[in-house]
């Protein structure tokens, strides 16, 4: 029996951070709908409980979860251990938790810089390390680590130096670890959305509106004008690529950073 067949026999276990909103929620819904046992994490206990109950009621796989702060090593280890206690070894990790952050670089505080890097980059390392160890993935012969990066991880973003730097780091980490784990049957890939309509996107548009002295609607029009497809990507479209990367058809895809961006970044 292959590693993927063995995992499928006991039911794939997927752990998703930032799993109550936006892209993370869409991923949880998709993977649960495929019959996986899904363990979601977020900062709000109420959001985790409500989302898990809603997704389980929709059918497919069972969804449970717990609060997690990806900037805390102890919290991350406890979170992954709870997932294992609930469902068993972790087959699939979706590192989705992240924050925005930026502004005029000369005016940035170290606190802003450190907060964005610690969440978006160090958080990915902490979760991955815990999934491999406490989650038992390193002892499996099949696994998936999928990091939600960004097209900002491949090009510079004006007024977004911390965010862009953090996502560049995620892409580099993905490529290094993907090559390292390639002989084991565990693949590591980054999914790089462009502009996606999420609660974070609304916050970002508000920040640019204040920085540029224009309305949020004007910011939206400026952003949409840069996208060849002419619109924002949806969370479900990003989740679709995540779902594909968890399939056995994607066994040969690793150490890649794949765009879902409506043509915004053709690199």
In a domain, 85, yes or no: yes
Q: How many domains does the structure of the chain reveal?
A: 2
Give per-residue pLDDT as tens, 208-255: 999 899 999 999 999 999 999 999 999 999 999 999 999 999 999 999
- Predicted local distance difference test score (pLDDT) of residue 74: 98
Q: What's the pLDDT at 44?
A: 97
Residue 189 lies in a domain: yes
Please indicate, yes or no, if residue 68 is contained in any of the structural domains. yes
* pLDDT surpassing 80 at residue 10: no
pLDDT at 1: 42
Same domain, 127 and 224: no
Q: In terms of domains, do 155 and 47 share one?
A: yes
123 shares a domain with 167:
yes
Q: Is residue 138 part of a domain?
A: yes
Position 86 scores a pLDDT of: 98
Pair 225, 243 in one domain? no
Q: Which entry of 163, 195, 208, 232 is annotated as an active-site residue?
A: 163
Q: Quote the CA–CA distance of 153 and 167 in Å, as a whole number.
A: 4
Tens-place pLDDT, residues 70-123: 999 999 999 999 999 999 999 999 999 999 999 999 999 999 999 999 999 999
Note whether residue 267 is domain-resident: no
Q: Are 210 and 183 members of one domain?
A: no
Going by C-beta distance under 8 Å and a sequence separation of 6 or more, which residues neighbour residue 52?
A: 40, 63, 64, 65
Residue 264 lies in a domain: no
Share of the chain above pLDDT 90, in %: 88
Q: Could you write out the DSSP letters of every residue in 192-227?
A: EE-SB-SHHHHHHHHHHHHHHTS-HHHHHHHHHHH-
Q: What are the pLDDT digits (tens) for 73-84?
A: 999 999 999 999
Mean pLDDT calculated for residue range 161-188: 98
Domain span holding position 104: 3-194+234-259
Q: Are residues 131 and 8 in the same domain?
A: yes
Check whether residue 89 and residue 204 sit in a common domain: no
Instruction: Supply the pLDDT for residue 199.
Output: 85
Q: How far is CA 252 from the centre of its chain?
A: 21
Looking up residue 81, the CATH number of its domain turns out to be: 3.40.50.720
The answer on pLDDT for 4 being more than 80 is no
Is-catalytic flag, 195?
A: no
* Lookup: tokens for 50: 């409500």
């Amino acid at each position: 029996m292959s590693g993927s067949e063995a995992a499928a026999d006991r039911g794939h276990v997927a752990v998703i951070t930032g799993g109550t909103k936006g892209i993370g929620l869409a991923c949880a819904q998709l993977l649960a709908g495929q019959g996986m046992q899904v363990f979601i994490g977020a900062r709000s206990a109420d959001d985790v409980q409500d989302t898990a109950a809603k997704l389980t009621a929709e059918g497919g796989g069972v969804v449970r979860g717990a609060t997690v702060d990806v900037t805390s090593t102890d919290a991350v280890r406890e979170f992954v251990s709870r997932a294992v206690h609930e469902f068993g070894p972790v087959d699939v990790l979706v590192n989705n938790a992240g924050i925005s952050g930026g502004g005029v670089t000369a005016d940035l505080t170290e606190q802003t810089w450190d907060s964005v890097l610690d969440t978006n980059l160090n958080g990915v390392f902490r979760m991955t390390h815990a999934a491999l160890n406490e989650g038992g993935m390193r002892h499996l012969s099949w696994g998936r680590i999928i990091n939600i990066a960004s097209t900002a991880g491949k090009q510079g973003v004006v007024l977004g130096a911390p965010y862009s730097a953090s996502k560049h780091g995620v892409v580099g980490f993905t490529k290094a670890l993907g090559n390292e784990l390639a002989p084991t049957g565990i693949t590591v890939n980054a999914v790089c959305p462009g502009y996606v309509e999420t609660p974070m996107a609304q916050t970002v548009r508000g920040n640019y509106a204040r920085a540029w002295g224009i309305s949020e609607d004007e910011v939206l029009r400026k952003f949409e004008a840069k996208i060849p497809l002419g619109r924002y990507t949806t969370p479900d479209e990003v989740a679709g690529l995540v779902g594909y990367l968890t399939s056995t058809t994607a066994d040969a895809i690793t150490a890649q950073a794949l765009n879902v961006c409506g043509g915004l970044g053709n690199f």
